[in-house]
Amino acid sequence: MIPTVSASGLTLRFGGTRALDDVSVRLAEGVTGLLGPNGAGKTTLLRVLATAVPADRGSFTVLGHDPGTTAGRLDVRRALGYLPQTPGFHQDFSAFEFVDYVAILKELTDRTARHREVRRVLEAVDLSDVRGKRIKRLSGGMRQRVALAAALVGDPGFLVLDEPTVGLDPEQRMRFRELIAQAGEGRTVLLSTHQTEDVAMLCHRVIVMAGGRIRFEGTPAELTDRAAGRVWSSTERDPAARAGWRTGTGAFRNVGDPPEGADLLEPTLEDGYLLTLDGETAEVAA
Amino acid sequence: MSDDRRTSDGNDMSGGSRTTWHVPQEDLLAYTQGELTPPRLWSADTHLAACARCRETLAALSDPVALDAGWERLDAELDAPRPGPVEWLLVRLGVADHTARLLTAAPALRRSWLGAIVALLVMTVAAANAVRAGAMPTLFLALAPLLPLAGVAVSYGPALDPTYEMAVVSPLHGFRLLMIRTVAVLTVGLGVNGLATLALPSYGLRALAWLLPALALTATGLALTSRLGPVLAPSLVGGGWIALLTVARATTESDATLAPFTAAGQGVSGAVAVLAAGLLYLARDRFDVSHLPLTDFTDRNAA
């Protein structure tokens, strides 16, 4: 793996909480998923890497640029596309005007070249037909695509997407996944999500965070492998299981340390994720 | 349409379509070279969008690169956002189109905001003219400096700029965006205040005693924003101004001029404005990172 983004020892506190606690990660070209429960520090990590807030300690580089210096930060921002957790819009702007506005913020000052770029990204997110519509008249899924178009404008090498699939219906989510997969070709994408399916379908690599720390970094297959031999089926909920739930067949799917002779099941990414969180939570609590 | 607007051979090239006129060959040639000028250019643009035959002729005449450029220009004109009245005026006044667009996103340049300011000033001026008490229009002088402060405050920061987080991480330096908007909002705010001053002719130049306090409050508000954030800083400065006037009122005889509007008070306002502007410049890099508190995000996550 050739890292395009490298972070080392990132720490950020507020109040008595460590939002980031000695976080070191490396990202490469393609889509990397960032999984974690609420309050894990995912958004804080994304905001630090997007240069919105500085870390108290630690350093990172993006595509060889060091945001610790004024010139380096400018270079990082020139290479950055950022879709915040709750992207805000000027509601009276049309989709075209909004993306055009973001393009101006990204220093595309030549009108002709800028409009060409705005048309390109709106085409890429399949919004060409509604480009003249006011944002307040667009559906939630379309607005999210406008925000993605704004992140893609200027062809950034590093794309930071904070829970972009939240609030989308299943069809919109599928469409959005396709767009993110396309965006991941030839650039580094960091995708924060609650959805293990997003990671399973999209990501080359996955990072799991909890309590401001990195709990796992590897491929989705490696995360799934963490649950190999640790998922079993039973007719009643197994008290030995760390987690168990009734599935559509009526049988219980248990995750944890199986008893002798248990009916083992094929693990999924979600099982690996649950075990990763569960083990680490126990360790932190101890 | 005159004959010279027909094709050079005078034939109808529409091949059965309803179009009877086609772009003359010399115009198409000039078009491919980017040398056709309005209004012939507009005429050619409109016609080419609807006429396949002329597009074919054009394709035969031009090299592909120039042709693409022509189409692109046509597309761009059709897509280009229609500027609102403020943006149109700014561009006419010589402001670059991209800067004008950044400005129109500032809430303090919107009609609703401007309307509220004008209504407030009209009422104050009417009151000052109706109840002429003392040597100064005190209520007007007290209120006028607060309007530019508030205008600048609502044009920047996470509370009122919905795209704040995206703007902060853009290559355009946060301080530069702040200054672009501040200059515009100040120009408009001071202009409106100035017009209101003209409606108080009986006070003469004394009715302009709001100007230096307005600059001092705005500069101080912005300088403190770098430390205290975009909500607390202007609120404190506005509150401080009202407190100062209240104390001055309580310690001054009823028909005497309040201290901030005396010559000495004006001198102090000028000095504060310059000092605050200096501090603001020194703190410029603090505007290049987000002022959204981290707790906002953890609360949202926990919710």
Identify whether residues B163 and B129 lie together within a single domain: yes
Identify whether residues A273 and A190 lie together within a single domain: no
Q: Per the structure block, which two tokens stand in for B9?
A: 């051979």
The residue whose two tokens read 């009986």 is B202
Contact B166 A96 (CB under 8 A): no
B87, amino acid identity: E
* Burial class of residue B161, CB neighbours in 10 A (0-12, 13-18, 19+): buried
User: For position B39, what pLDDT does the model report?
Assistant: 74
Contacts of A251-260 with CB under 8 Å at 24 or more apart are A255/A227, A255/A230, A255/A231, A256/A230, A257/A230, A258/A229, A258/A230, A258/A231, A258/A232, A259/A232
Is B299 in CB contact (< 8 Å) with chain A?
A: no
Identify whether residues A280 and A204 lie together within a single domain: no
A87, amino acid identity: P
Q: Which domain holds residue B42?
A: 20-79
- Residue numbers of A between 52 and 81 with CB closer than 8 Å to B: 52-54, 70, 73-74, 77-78, 80
> Do A50 and A36 meet the contact criterion of CB atoms below 8 Å apart?
no
For residues B131 and B181, the model is more confident at B181
Q: Which of A73, A88, A131 sits opposite B79 (nearest CB)?
A: A131
Distance CA A115, CA A85 (A): 26
Q: Which of A159, A185, A218 is the last residue of a domain?
A: A218
For residues B169 and B156, the model is more confident at B169
For residues B127 and B107, the model is more confident at B127
Distance CA B157, CA B237 (A): 16
Identify whether residues B199 and B255 lie together within a single domain: yes
Cα–Cα nearest to B197, from B115, B125, B269, B261: B125
Is A16 in CB contact (< 8 Å) with chain B?
A: no
**CA separation, residue A36 to residues A39, A192, A212 (Å):** 8, 8, 10
Distance CA B126, CA B222 (A): 31
Which segment, A203-207, B145-149, B154-158, is predicted with the most confidence on average?
A: A203-207
Distance CA A117, CA A114 (A): 5
> Do A52 and B289 meet the contact criterion of CB atoms below 8 Å apart?
yes
For residue range B232-245, what is the model confidence (pLDDT) as tens digits?
899 999 999 999 99
Is pLDDT above 80 for B10?
no
B52 min Cα distance to partner chain A (Å): 23
Distance CA B175, CA B177 (A): 5
Verify cis geometry, omega within 30 degrees of 0, for the bond prior to B39.
yes
Q: Which of A19, A118, A131 sits opposite B298 (nearest CB)?
A: A19
User: For position B2, what pLDDT does the model report?
Assistant: 41
Element (H, E) at A156: none
User: For position B291, what pLDDT does the model report?
Assistant: 67
Is B296 in CB contact (< 8 Å) with chain A?
A: no
| A116 contacts on B by Cβ (under 8 Å) | 72, 76
Lowest-confidence segment of A111-115, A186-190, B61-65, B285-289 by average pLDDT: B61-65
| B96 contacts on A by Cβ (under 8 Å) | 109
- Residue numbers of A between 141 and 200 with CB closer than 8 Å to B: 150
Is A88 in CB contact (< 8 Å) with chain B?
A: yes
Pairing of the two strands A188-193 and A30-35: parallel
Identify whether residues B57 and B103 lie together within a single domain: no
Q: Which residue of A has its CA nearest to B301?
A: A38
Distance CA B228, CA B278 (A): 17
Q: Which of B79, B104, B120 is the last residue of a domain?
A: B79
- Residue numbers of A between 132 and 151 with CB closer than 8 Å to B: 132, 150
| A108 contacts on B by Cβ (under 8 Å) | 98
User: For position B79, what pLDDT does the model report?
Assistant: 64
Identify whether residues A122 and A253 lie together within a single domain: no
For residue range B212-270, what is the model confidence (pLDDT) as tens digits?
999 999 999 999 988 888 788 999 999 999 999 999 988 888 778 888 888 999 999 99
Is pLDDT above 50 for B17?
no
- Residue numbers of B between 13 and 32 with CB closer than 8 Å to A: none
Q: Per the structure block, which two tokens stand in for B7?
A: 């094709």
Identify whether residues B237 and B283 lie together within a single domain: yes
Identify whether residues B152 and B296 lie together within a single domain: yes
CATH number for the domain harbouring residue A62:
3.40.50.300
Q: List the single best residue of B75, B163, B180 to mutate versus A (max A Cβ within 10 A).
A: B163
Give helix B64-79 / helix A111-124 axis angle, nearest 10°: 80
Identify whether residues B47 and B180 lie together within a single domain: no
Residue B10 falls within a domain, yes or no? no
Q: Which domain holds residue A196?
A: 3-218
Is A116 in CB contact (< 8 Å) with chain B?
A: yes
Q: Which of A218, A247, A263 is the last residue of a domain?
A: A218
Identify whether residues A235 and A128 lie together within a single domain: no
Q: Per the structure block, which two tokens stand in for A88?
A: 């805000």
User: For position B14, what pLDDT does the model report?
Assistant: 42
Is pLDDT above 60 for B16?
no
- Reported as a pLDDT band with limits 50, 70 and 90, residue B186 is confident
A68 min Cα distance to partner chain B (Å): 12
Q: Which of B166, B173, B293 sits opposite A87 (nearest CB)?
A: B166
User: For position A214, what pLDDT does the model report?
Assistant: 95
| Helix, coil or strand: residue A82 | strand
- Sheet containing A3-14, strands listed edge to edge, beginning at the edge strand earlier in sequence: A17-28, A3-14, A57-62
B254 min Cα distance to partner chain A (Å): 48
Residue B14 falls within a domain, yes or no? no
Task: Check residue A94 and report its DSSP letter.
Answer: B
For residues B7 and A25, the model is more confident at A25
CA angle in degrees (0–180, nearest 5) for B267-B271-B274: 140
- Sheet containing A80-83, strands listed edge to edge, beginning at the edge strand earlier in sequence: A80-83, A158-162, A188-193, A30-35, A205-210, A213-218
Pairing of the two strands A80-83 and A158-162: parallel
Which conformational region is residue B298 in: left (phi greater than 0), alpha (psi within -120 to 50 degrees), or beta? alpha
Helices (H), chain B: 25-32, 40-50, 52-61, 64-79, 85-92, 97-104, 111-130, 138-143, 146-154, 164-168, 174-198, 211-228, 232-250, 263-282, 294-302
User: For position B64, what pLDDT does the model report?
Assistant: 67
Counted domains in chain B: 2
Distance CA A63, CA A50 (A): 13
Distance CA A264, CA A252 (A): 12
User: For position B300, what pLDDT does the model report?
Assistant: 41
Counted domains in chain A: 2
| B173 contacts on A by Cβ (under 8 Å) | 74
Identify whether residues A9 and A35 lie together within a single domain: yes
Q: Which of A15, A44, A84 sits opposite B165 (nearest CB)?
A: A84
* Burial class of residue A260, CB neighbours in 10 A (0-12, 13-18, 19+): exposed
Taking chain B, what is the end-to-end CA distance rounded to the nearest angstrom? 68
Distance CA A81, CA A189 (A): 9
| A47 contacts on B by Cβ (under 8 Å) | 290, 297
User: For position A42, what pLDDT does the model report?
Assistant: 93
Averaged pLDDT in 10-residue chunks for chain A of 286 residues: 92 87 95 92 94 93 92 94 88 89 91 89 89 89 92 94 86 87 93 91 94 94 94 87 86 90 92 82 36
| Helix, coil or strand: residue B172 | coil
Contact A43 B98 (CB under 8 A): no
In this prediction, residues B263-287 reach a mean pLDDT of 93
Q: Which of A40, A101, A115 sits opposite B80 (nearest CB)?
A: A115
Pairing of the two strands A231-234 and A205-210: unpaired
Identify whether residues B258 and B119 lie together within a single domain: yes
* Burial class of residue B111, CB neighbours in 10 A (0-12, 13-18, 19+): exposed
Per the confidence metrics, is the pTM higher than 0.80? no
Is pLDDT above 70 for B161?
yes
Identify whether residues A15 and A79 lie together within a single domain: yes
Q: Per the structure block, which two tokens stand in for B251?
A: 């310690």
Identify whether residues B121 and B212 lie together within a single domain: yes
Residue B15 falls within a domain, yes or no? no
For residues B147 and A78, the model is more confident at A78
Q: Which of A85, A89, A100 sits opposite B101 (nearest CB)?
A: A100
Contact B163 A51 (CB under 8 A): no
> Do A51 and A80 meet the contact criterion of CB atoms below 8 Å apart?
yes
Is B288 in CB contact (< 8 Å) with chain A?
A: yes
| A193 contacts on B by Cβ (under 8 Å) | none
Q: A-B interface: how many C-beta pairs under 8 angstroms?
A: 122
User: For position B293, what pLDDT does the model report?
Assistant: 60
Distance CA A179, CA A165 (A): 11
Identify whether residues A164 and A258 lie together within a single domain: no
Identify whether residues A180 and A276 lie together within a single domain: no
Q: Which of B79, B111, B127 is the last residue of a domain?
A: B79
Number of H helices, E strands in chain A: 9, 13
Q: Which of A218, A240, A272 is the last residue of a domain?
A: A218
Q: List the single best residue of A48, A78, A104, A131 to mutate versus B (max B Cβ within 10 A).
A: A104
Q: Per the structure block, which two tokens stand in for B124?
A: 């104050």
Contact B294 A87 (CB under 8 A): no
User: For position B7, what pLDDT does the model report?
Assistant: 42
Is A11 in CB contact (< 8 Å) with chain B?
A: no
B166 min Cα distance to partner chain A (Å): 7
